Structure 1
Amino acid sequence: MSNAKVLTLIEPAGAQGVAPCCPPLTERTMTAEEAQTASRMFKALGDPVRLRLFSAVASHEGGEACVCDISDVGVSQPTVSHHLKKLKEAGLLTSERRGTWVYYRVEPSVLAAMGQLLTLPAAA
């Protein structure tokens, strides 16, 4: 069993909400730690099935999805569970068990952090 550390794409930023873990790529060179965090996120999204699952959760009504609603991605249920676990380990999803089902959510701050990482600088 892996002792994989769950990554956090966001860090507390006081009263202003959350701040991304990493600066926009165009702002400055990333530190080794920032690059490690971002690369794990991109690696998790680099698999087509994981990307489809992430998209299914992110676009699902109410911002969360039951595993029963998103598991039709062309692979077995145990494989879906494996991919969802990898997305959680990368800090991209959170989950909550309700009865028999597990519900997954993409936190809006994660999407904001991902967007900011890839933001181009404003035109001068």
Structure 2
Amino acid sequence: MVDYKEYTVVFKALSDETRLKIVEMLSCNEMCACDILDYFQISQSTLSYHMKILTECNLICSRKDGSWVKYSLNDQVAKKIKIFWEDLTSGKDDCICNEVINKNKCK
């Protein structure tokens, strides 16, 4: 049985255009917060807010490098989300749609 709650946090994090762009940026390579700031022309506090949401759902990782923080995509979580999405959008034997169809046949 799939734990849908586990994925809702990630999809909520991805429901923002800026955060989607940040994930795309990090898909290429690790990036310093300063470079992300320059691209978006947003305040440090706004970037921190977005990064907090992305790190809390484990989609991105962070590490200190001197006075800056470097961010990277958590490849394991990204792969897990891809597999979940593929399973979610593909018909299979244990799909919820089969439960609904079987329930309606009983009437």
Give the shorter-chain TM-score range.
0.7 to 0.9
The 8 Å contact of residues 58 and 74 in structure 2, kept in 1 or not, is answered as no
Match of 2:58 in 1: 91
Alignment of 1:57-72 (within 5 A): 57-59=26-28, 63-71=29-37, 72=39
Q: In the alignment, is residue 103 of structure 1 matched against residue 103 of structure 2?
A: no
Q: With the length of structure 2 as denominator, give the TM-score of the two structures.
A: 0.73
Q: With the length of structure 1 as denominator, give the TM-score of the two structures.
A: 0.64
Match of 1:24 in 2: none
Deviation at 1:107, TM superposition (A): 2.2
Higher helix share: 2
Alignment size in residue pairs = 89
Quote the sequence identity (%): 31
SS at match of 1:79: helix
CA distance in 2, matches of 1:104, 1:97: 9
Higher relative contact order (CA 8 A, sep 6+): 1
Q: Where has structure 1 moved over 6 Å in runs of 4 or more?
A: none
Residue-by-residue CA offset, 1:64-110 (whole Å, 9 max, x unaligned): 11111112224322101110011000111110001011001112212
SS at match of 1:94: strand
CA distance in 2, matches of 1:54, 1:81: 14
Q: RMSD of aligned C-alpha atoms?
A: 2.0
CA distance in 2, matches of 1:74, 1:49: 11
